[in-house]
Homo-oligomer: A and B are copies of this chain.
């Protein structure tokens, strides 16, 4: 919050300076008026872009990226992660097995390990947790 106030303060100060400079430049005729107008236009264009992006970041959630570090931190192996993806696609253990060319038993082992690593009791809970920590 303090940082926000600081940023806005500096922004307004900068704009005021630019404003005064422009007025002076135009009146004194040191610079071509076209140049000054273009400068103002460009600066405010980017200010608009910046503020809009800021506000979007604040109000709405931007698309999440997968947190690979978290996956490592939780000690989730490649195979286990592939199984997790299968679960998120709504597949049964049997179907995941077919997809990964392993037996249902193997998938069950992976799922069981996955659940304890994610601290979940059910596969649906695992999905919820996985989404929450951005690993899916």
Contact = CB atoms under 8 A, between A and B. Distances in A.
A122 B90 contact: yes
Interface residues of A, number: 46
Interface of A is mostly: helix
A112 to B, nearest CB: 16
Contacts of A91: 124-125
Number of this chain's copies in the assembly equals 2
A76 interface: no
A90 B48 contact: no
A104 B51 CA distance: 50
Contact of A22 (B37, B122, B123): B37
Contacts of A42: 44
